[in-house]
A = this chain, B = another copy of it.
Amino acid sequence: MELKQVLMSRRSCREYTDQAVEAEKIEAVVTAASLAPVGVPRDGRPHLTLVTDAAMLKQLGGLFGPERDIIYGAPALVIVSCPPSRPGIPEMNAACVVEMMALEATDLGLGNIYLYGVTMALQNNPDLMKTLGIPEGHTPLSALAFGYGKEPVTECKAWEEILTRNTI
């Protein structure tokens, strides 16, 4: 899709089908992450952890308790962890990485959602961080969950209309 269509089509998706995401689409989403700008890169770059294992996804989704799934049943999750740097830099770097992946996922017809809670919960679970292979000293800060949404990604054609509103 053209950039504008992607920007307008991205929505937070909170319901997924059981359809697995094709390996080449996962690869493209992760590759998009590498195109994000990185602030203060000498302190180290963001680290990505791809999770597609059903049992691990279930465990992560239940970190706030069994009554809700904080990853919304998505079949794929990329956790972004960053090393320490100047104030705010790790969080901004993580956000840029997640947004690049979110746009690429949208372009591939994949529902997706920027997640914060699951990484906050992970910070209190050093054993689980170790199991996931998150490097020592890195902090999980943001994540993207994605998969085929129950509602398909639909292109929005109304850029001109958006130009006439001012929502921010």
Contact = CB atoms under 8 A, between A and B. Distances in A.
A58 B65 CA distance: 52
Contact of A88 (B10, B91, B102): B91
**Interface residue SS majority, chain A:** helix
Given A6-B3, A104-B7, A116-B39, A92 B94 contact: yes
Copy count, this protein chain: 2
Contact of A168 (B27, B39, B97, B168): B97
A103 interface: yes
A37 B12 CA distance: 8
Interface stretch (A28-36, A67-75, A125-133): A28-36
Given A3-B6, A3-B104, A34-B162, 4 more contacts: A2-B3, A30-B168, A88-B91, A91-B95
